[in-house]
């Protein structure tokens, strides 16, 4: 399928409000690990109250691999043998694709721990197939190196007949795309359907040559949740190019939830090409060369469904809520040819820190400059209860509405946005707002002037939100603004089954052991405040012994002196930390063992 993503340095958003509290996704026993609420149809509220976002509390990224394996799964192992395999746990296949060929619709392929390097994509051709790591284990599909003629293979490829599939608790490295959903859109036949009703959850997806996750036209009801997505665009040696974290072109009802997306070649997430009812919530997005989130963008005209979208809107009824966006080169959130978008309770920090755009940006879509009557302005956006915190080095407005004389004149927004209860702050400066439309042109307005200009922003303020270590506002003036759930980064090993791992701090490391008279001083890497360490623990034993001695130290410490040691002996030493939540201790893994010198 033609890869269409026309990029330009004119992007990004301004958005939307509207509240919709959530009803849970219906679940079955097989899906019990991953159920999270989703919104009802949104109800537009002019001066909306802050939203109570409903979801699993806290973390983004993969959760522990605790989902039970079905009794009759088909097993695959790096040590398996395809010629004698039955698919049982004692006689597993070696090749994932061989197991898929033997599978029937509805089967589950269970991967044992290890790395699978087949040189071609893992292609799912049948409906309702699940690929997952065995409970408590972690499988890696590595397509960094591919066979001749397979340069456009994806790591995991959901073919057009694979609707109802699932990818769960698996790491995918490399591929043209790490994960791709295919479509019949441009096949020329009577059906233009795509692979739909697919779930991708609790995975690590990274180092793709282009987009990490690709959703093609008519691939509807795709759910992408609790994944870590990073390092897109490895094909671009200079680090700049067109490679999103999640790229959705005209796929309806996509849900991108609780993902940790970082170090992205271009934009973190976008839904464009007429994508309808996309829900983007509870994601943490860091270090994107371009935008954090785009509701709409710029798509080739042949990819629109003109029966339902004759105006060529890039996005219809998209929702972005409770997302944390940090360090975006262009807009934090951008709005392009978006109809009825909603943007609320997002926190944007150090965004639009490059050469162009604003924190929240209304951009133009050119749609290949084709001679058609598309390229509509965004209309009826609702934006409320967001927080924007910028360093003094950012030179761009908080909000900008673009206009261009190109193609007879194009405006990024029709009418005024509905906005209220937002918090804006730029260190050492006053926030400014810009409208470039000829009939209402005004540059670098103050917040007060902006309020009058759009006849809105009731309850919006200019104040330091005083963000805590989890980027949640502690300033009472900003109550109810910005993210309402902590979106801490993953702090456990993906294959771990331990319930305590969900809140555990990251693993630390020992930097130095100094020897003294019957004592040693152990120094370790102190974890960032965001890890919320309660205490560190040091355990040690005489080298070769089986008995450990453990001592605890305050979270403020990065070294400890251990006394009353045996002269002439060497000691094995490890360090870990723990976090106490509701009187329960959640332990990190022990760090790599370090051997001391001989005690004096």
DSSP secondary structure, 146-206, as one string: --TT-TT--SEEE-TT-TT-EEESEEEEESSSSEEE-B-TTS-SS---B--S-EEES-EEE
Q: What percent of the chain is modeled with pLDDT above 90?
A: 77
CA angle 155, 202, 124 (to 5 degrees): 35
| Residue 81 in this model has a pLDDT that exceeds 80 | yes
* 457 token code pair: 């922003």
For residues 34-51, average pLDDT? 37
* pLDDT tier for residue 31 given thresholds of 50, 70 and 90: very low
Q: How confident is the model at residue 570 (pLDDT cuts 50, 70, 90)?
A: very high
Question: Confidence class of residue 18 from pLDDT cuts 50, 70 and 90?
Answer: very low
Higher-pLDDT residue of 584, 47: 584
Sheet holding 433-435, edge to edge: 122-124, 156-158, 179-181, 213-215, 246-249, 269-272, 293-295, 333-336, 360-363, 399-401, 433-435, 442-445
- CB–CB of 75/87 below 8 Å? yes
160 phi/psi in degrees, rounded to 5: -65, -20
**Is 423 in contact with 478 (CB distance < 8 Å)?**
yes
Q: Residue 51 above 70 pLDDT?
A: no
How remote is the C-alpha of 360 from its chain's centroid? 19
What was the pLDDT predicted at 490? 61
Q: Which of 109-113, 202-206, 517-521, 587-591 has the lowest mean pLDDT?
A: 587-591
- Cα→Cα distances 129→201, 418, 444, Å: 14, 44, 54
Task: Tell whether the model's pLDDT for residue 526 goes beyond 50.
Answer: yes
- pLDDT confidence tier of residue 503, bands split at 50, 70 and 90: low
> Token pair of 40, please?
């009802």
CA 302 – CA 256 distance, rounded (Å): 25
- State how beta strands 279-281 and 223-225 pair: unpaired
Asked if the model's pLDDT at residue 6 lies above 80, the reply is no
pLDDT confidence bin for 488, thresholds 50/70/90 = confident
Weakest mean pLDDT among 331-335, 436-440, 585-589: 585-589
Residue 200 has pLDDT above 50, yes or no: yes
More confident residue, 10 or 103: 103
pLDDT score of 500 more than 50: no
Say whether pLDDT at 362 is over 60: yes
> Does the pLDDT of residue 497 top 70, yes or no?
no
Is residue 224 pLDDT above 90, yes or no?
Answer: yes
For 393-451, the pLDDT digits (tens) are 999 999 999 999 999 999 999 999 999 999 999 999 999 999 999 999 999 999 999 99
Q: Are 504 and 587 in contact (CB under 8 A)?
A: yes
Counting residues of the chain whose pLDDT is more than 70, the rounded percentage is 87
- CA-to-CA distance for 41 and 20, rounded, in angstroms? 6
Is pLDDT at 310 greater than 70 in this prediction? yes
Question: Residue 551's CB: how many other CB atoms inside 10 A?
Answer: 12
pLDDT for res 548: 87
Going by pLDDT thresholds of 50, 70 and 90, the confidence category of residue 585 is confident
Residues 272-283, mean pLDDT to the nearest whole number: 97
Mean pLDDT across 385-395:
95
Q: What is the 3 state secondary structure string of 508-574?
A: CCEEEEEEECCEEEEEECCCCHHHCCCEEEEEEEECCCCCCEEEEEECCCCEEEECCCCCCCCEEEE
Total number of residues shown for the chain: 600
Confidence of residue 584 (pLDDT cuts 50, 70, 90): low
Find the mean pLDDT for residues 473-500.
74
Listed in sequence order, the residues at least 6 apart from 337 whose beta carbon sits closer than 8 Å to its beta carbon are: 296, 312, 313, 314, 315, 364, 365, 374, 375, 376, 377, 378
Q: Please give the C-alpha separations between residue 264 and each of 230, 247, 324, 362, in angstroms, as whole numbers.
A: 6, 12, 15, 22
pLDDT at residue 52 in the model:
44
Q: What share of the chain is helix, strand, coil (3-state, %, to 5)?
A: 5, 35, 60
Q: What is residue 302's predicted lDDT score, i.e. its pLDDT?
A: 95
Position 371 scores a pLDDT of: 86
Q: Are 180 and 159 in contact (CB under 8 A)?
A: no
User: How far apart are alpha carbons 87 and 466 in whole angstroms?
Assistant: 56
Q: For the chain, which domains are there?
A: 202-478 (2.160.20), 504-595 (2.60.40.10)
Q: What mean pLDDT is reported for the chain?
A: 87
Q: What is the pLDDT of residue 140?
A: 96
pLDDT of 12 higher than 80:
no
Q: Label residue 502 by pLDDT band (50, 70, 90).
A: low
Give the sheet arrangement for strand 315-316, strand by strand.
275-276, 315-316, 338-339, 378-379, 413-414
- Judge whether residue 372 has pLDDT over 90: no
Could you give the residue ranges of the DSSP H alpha helices within 404-533? 447-454
- 173, pLDDT greater than 90: yes
State mean pLDDT over 3-7.
35
Q: What angle do CA 8, 247, 244 make, to 5 degrees?
A: 60
Residue 102, H or E segment = helix 96-102
Q: Per-residue pLDDT averaged across 159-176, rounded? A: 97
Q: How far apart are CA 92 and CA 181, in angstroms?
A: 27
As a whole number of angstroms, the distance between CA 332 and CA 330 comes to 7
- Residue 343: pLDDT band by 50, 70, 90 thresholds? very high
């Amino acid at each position: 399928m033609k890869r269409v993503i026309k990029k330009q340095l004119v992007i990004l958003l301004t958005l939307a409000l509207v509240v919709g509290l959530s009803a849970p996704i219906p679940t079955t026993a097989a899906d019990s690990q991953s159920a999270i609420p989703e919104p009802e149809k949104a109800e537009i509220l002019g001066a909306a109250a802050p939203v109570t976002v409903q979801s699993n509390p806290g973390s983004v990224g993969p959760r522990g691999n605790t989902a039970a394996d079905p009794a009759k799964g088909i097993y695959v192992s790096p040590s398996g043998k395809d010629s004698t395999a039955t698919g049982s746990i004692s006689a597993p296949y070696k090749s994932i694709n061989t197991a898929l060929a033997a599978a029937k619709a509805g089967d589950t392929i269970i991967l044992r721990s290890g790395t699978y390097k087949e040189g071609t994509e893992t292609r799912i051709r049948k409906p309702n197939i699940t690929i997952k790591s065995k409970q408590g284990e972690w499988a890696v599909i590595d397509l960094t190196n591919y066979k001749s003629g397979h340069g456009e293979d994806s790591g995991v490829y959901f073919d057009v007949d694979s609707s109802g599939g699932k990818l769960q608790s698996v790491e995918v490295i490399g591929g043209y795309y790490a994960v791709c959903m295919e479509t019949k859109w441009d096949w020329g036949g009577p059906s233009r359907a795509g692979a739909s009703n697919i779930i991708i959850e609790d995975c690590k997806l990274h180092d793709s040559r282009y987009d990490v996750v690709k959703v093609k036209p008519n691939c509807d009801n795709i759910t992408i949740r609790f994944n870590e997505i990073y390092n897109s665009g490895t094909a671009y040696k200079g680090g700049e190019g067109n490679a999103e974290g999640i790229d959705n072109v005209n796929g309806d009802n996509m849900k991108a939830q609780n993902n940790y997306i970082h170090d992205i070649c271009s934009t973190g997430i976008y839904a464009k090409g007429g994508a309808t009812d996309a829900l983007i919530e509870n994601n943490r997005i860091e270090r994107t060369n371009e935008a954090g989130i785009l509701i709409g963008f710029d798509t080739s005209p042949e990819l629109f469904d003109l029966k339902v979208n004759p105006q060529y809107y890039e996005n219809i009824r998209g929702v972005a809520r409770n997302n944390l966006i940090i360090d975006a080169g262009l807009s934090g959130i951008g709005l392009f040819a978006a109809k009825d978008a909603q943007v609320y309770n997002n926190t944007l920090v150090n965004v639009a820190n490059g050469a162009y755009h604003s924190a929240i940006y209304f951009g133009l879509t050119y749609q290949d400059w084709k001679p058609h009557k598309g390229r509509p302005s965004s209309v009826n956006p609702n934006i409320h209860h967001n927080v924007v915190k910028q360093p003094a080095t950012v030179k761009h407005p908080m909000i900008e509405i673009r206009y261009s004389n190109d193609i007879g004149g194009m405006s990024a927004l029709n009418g005024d946005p509905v906005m209220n209860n937002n918090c804006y702050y730029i260190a050492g400066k006053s926030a400014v707002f810009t409208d470039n439309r000829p009939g209402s042109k005004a540059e670098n307005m103050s917040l007060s002037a902006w309020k009058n200009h759009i006849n809105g922003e009731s309850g919006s303020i200019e104040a330091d939100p005083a963000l805590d270590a989890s980027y949640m506002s502690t300033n009472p003036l900003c109550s109810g603004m910005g993210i309402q759930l902590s979106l801490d980064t993953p702090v456990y090993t993906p294959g771990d089954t331990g319930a305590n791992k969900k809140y555990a701090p990251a693993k630390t490391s020992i930097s130095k052991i100094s020897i003294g008279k019957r004592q040693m001083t152990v120094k370790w890497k102190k974890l960032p405040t965001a890890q919320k360490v309660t205490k560190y623990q040091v355990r040690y034993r005489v080298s070769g012994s089986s008995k450990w001695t453990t001592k605890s130290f305050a979270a403020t410490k990065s070294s400890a002196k251990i006394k009353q040691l045996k002269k002439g002996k060497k000691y094995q030493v490890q360090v870990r930390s723990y976090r106490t939540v509701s009187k329960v201790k959640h332990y990190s893994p022990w760090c790599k063992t370090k051997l001391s010198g001989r005690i004096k």
